[in-house]
Amino acid sequence: MSPKETIVRMIDAHAARFTGTARYIGNHPELGYEEFKACSRLAREFEHFGFAVQTGLLGMETAFLAEYRASRPGPVAALFCEYDALPEIGHACGHHLISAMSLAAAAGLKSVLEETGGVIRVYGTPAEETAGAKVPMADKGLFDDVDFALMAHPFHAFETPGTSLALDAVQFEFFGKAAHAAASPHEGINALDAVIQLFNAVNALRQQMESHARVHGIIVEGGKAANIIPDYAAARFYIRAANRPYTSMLTGRVRRCAEGAALQTGCQWKESYYEHSYDELLTNETLSEVYLNNLRALGVPPEEIRPGQDHGSLDLGNVSRRCPVIHPFVKVIDEPHPLHTREFRDAAMTGRAMELMLLSGKALAFTAYDVLADPQLLRRIRKEFESRLR
């Protein structure tokens, strides 16, 4: 039996366990950094398959590291589990499938790891939807010794690994002076007016933004009563663009809009970052081609694999500065339901979704095996990675 046949047999033999894990997480949605049930379930599953599991990584209660080492040394292959849900609508981004997919891939790869040597490392990464845990993990060097990393995201189509938008999450607070809005408005300093001026300035700024840039925000505090001049108001923005330098520049321009709004209204103001900043994803094209070859070998027609699109921002972008990474989108439903909708959530819990999740787990395991078994291929992957960082 070939190594890849062994991987397939292993994943198929434990299919009920993998799909059961996906359904459990899907049926118990938890918000970022509150994924206690998902983290516990995944830790038990990895221990069942012989992985050493460390929970509470970097002080984050719902982060974990699962690792298996072959008896002889070799490269470090990394996979990722994401398992946070969205407010109110649950697992409408398919993170329950991401977790089970990586679990299946890791278990399948483990069955042939003695042939190649090396290490399988699976990172449990909370809160991808908000303050993604991969950012502090990257900052603390947890990926610096990883030779390559893989994950795949559920979608309604197969897409080649692409890129993502860099992101800054910025809050602007304005401090004014309260007054009776009818009896003595002239004694007040209106913090809400500053927020409104900020939004007007940002809307004017859009005319001079490059087409790949996005600035979108909400007012999180605008006053307590209509007859009181608001002495405090706050707004939160996501500022995104195709690369980190442009994103940082754009954040600076939005900051000056806030400063101008404060000057116009007489308010004091403060800026803070309410979530981690994300870098854009740097896809390793050499690693991507290995993955696509395996996806085709598993029966996915080439014409059904479309070019990668930008689907927003990913904390995996920060990881891609530390090691070679791919992040393809994989078909798990047949209907073109958008992510972050109830329709996608429901379709991603069907038997069809579980079947396609297992297929994608096999593609990830095949890809990792190919790289572990071919030192020259790994050198090409590393060479491309280093050239992208220059």
Q: How many CA atoms lie within 13 A of 257 on its CB side?
A: 24
Instruction: Look at residue 20 in the predicted model and tell me its pLDDT.
Output: 98
**Can you tell me which residue has the tokens 């095996």?**
369
* Residue 30 and residue 125 in one domain: yes
Q: What pLDDT is stored for residue 344 in this prediction?
A: 97
Q: For residue 25, give the nearest of 331, 327, 368, 353 by alpha carbon.
A: 353
Q: What is the DSSP string of 109-150?
A: HHTTHHHH--EEEEEE---TTSS-THHHHHHTTTTTT-SEEE
Q: What is the pLDDT of residues 333-356, one digit of tens each?
A: 999 999 999 999 999 999 999 999
Domain count across the chain: 2
Q: How far apart are CA 174 and CA 238, in angstroms?
A: 18
Q: Where a domain ends, among 273, 299, 327?
A: 273
- pLDDT tier, 310 (very low <50, low <70, confident <90, very high otherwise): confident
Residue 360: strand pairing partners: none
Instruction: Tell me the pLDDT band of 138, cut-offs 50, 70 and 90.
Output: very high
**More confident site: 305 or 130:** 305
Residue 19 sits in the same domain as residue 90? yes
pLDDT at 3 over 90: yes
The pLDDT score that the predictor gives to residue 147 is 98
Considering the domain architecture, whether residues 174 and 262 belong to the same structural domain is answered as yes
Residues 254-298: tens digit of each pLDDT: 999 999 999 999 999 999 999 999 999 999 999 999 999 999 999
- The amino acid present at 309, given as its one-letter code, is Q
Domain boundary among 222, 256, 273: 273
SS3 of residue 330 by DSSP: strand
Query: 207 and 137, same structural domain?
Result: no
Residues 7 and 124 in one domain: yes
Whether residue 125 is found in the same domain as residue 87: yes
Q: Among 220, 249, 273, where does a domain finish?
A: 273
Centre a 10 Å sphere on the Cβ of residue 33 and count the other Cβ atoms it contains: 16
Cα separation of 357 and 336, whole Å? Answer: 17
CATH number at residue 52: 3.40.630.10
Judgement on whether residues 242 and 309 belong to the same structural domain of the protein: no
* pLDDT value, residue 51: 98
* Nearest 10 degrees: Cα torsion 104, 106, 110, 115: 110
The reply to whether 96 and 234 lie within a common domain is no
Q: Please give the Cα distance from 248 to 260 (Å, whole number).
A: 19
- Spatial separation of the C-alpha atoms in residues 320 and 136, rounded to whole Å: 13
Provide the pLDDT for residue 312.
Answer: 87
Q: Does 250 lie in the same domain as 121?
A: no
Pair 219, 311 in one domain? no
**What pLDDT shows up at residue 297?**
97
Q: What CATH code is carried by the domain that includes residue 248?
A: 3.30.70.360
* Closest listed residue to residue 325, CA positions, set 238, 237, 384: 384
Residue range 155-172, pLDDT digits in tens: 999 999 999 999 999 999
Burial class from Cβ neighbours inside 10 Å (0-12, 13-18, 19+) for residue 117 reads middle
- Region 240-245: mean pLDDT is 96
Q: What is the pLDDT of residue 263?
A: 98
Q: Given this model, what pLDDT does residue 52 score? A: 98
Quote the tokens at residue 21: 């894990």
Cα 74 from Cα 120, distance rounded (Å): 10
HEC profile for 154-223? EECCEECCCCCCEEEEEEEEEECECCECCCCHHHCECHHHHHHHHHHHHHHHHHHCCCCCEEEEEEEECC
Q: Verify that 46 and 156 share a domain, yes or no.
A: yes
Contact 165, 304 (CB under 8 A): no
pLDDT of 60 reads: 97
> Residue 141: which region, alpha, beta or left (left: phi > 0; alpha: psi -120 to 50)?
left
In angstroms, the CA 327 to CA 314 distance is 10
pLDDT of residue 315: 95
Cα distance between residue 76 and residue 91, in whole Å? 30
At 390 the pLDDT is 78
Mean pLDDT over the full length of the chain: 97
Domain that holds residue 244: 166-273
Q: What pLDDT is attached to residue 300?
A: 96
Percent of the chain predicted with pLDDT > 70? 100
Instruction: Give the mean pLDDT of 104-119.
Output: 98
> Which burial class, exposed, middle or buried, applies to 55 when counting CB atoms under 10 A from its CB (0-12, 13-18, 19+)?
middle
- Cα distance between residue 256 and residue 245, in whole Å: 17
The sign one gets for the Cα dihedral 313, 316, 319, 324 is negative
Same domain for 220 and 102:
no
Measured between alpha carbons, how far is 365 from 172 in angstroms, rounded to an integer? 45
**Terminal CA-to-CA distance of the chain, rounded, Å?**
43
> What is the pLDDT at residue 339?
95
Question: What is the pLDDT at residue 130?
Answer: 87
Residue 45 has pLDDT above 90, yes or no: yes
Whether 75 contacts 378, CB under 8 Å: yes
Provide DSSP, 99-114.
Answer: HHHHHHHHHHHHTTHH
What secondary structure letter does DSSP report for 87?
Answer: T
CB 239 within 8 A of CB 215: yes
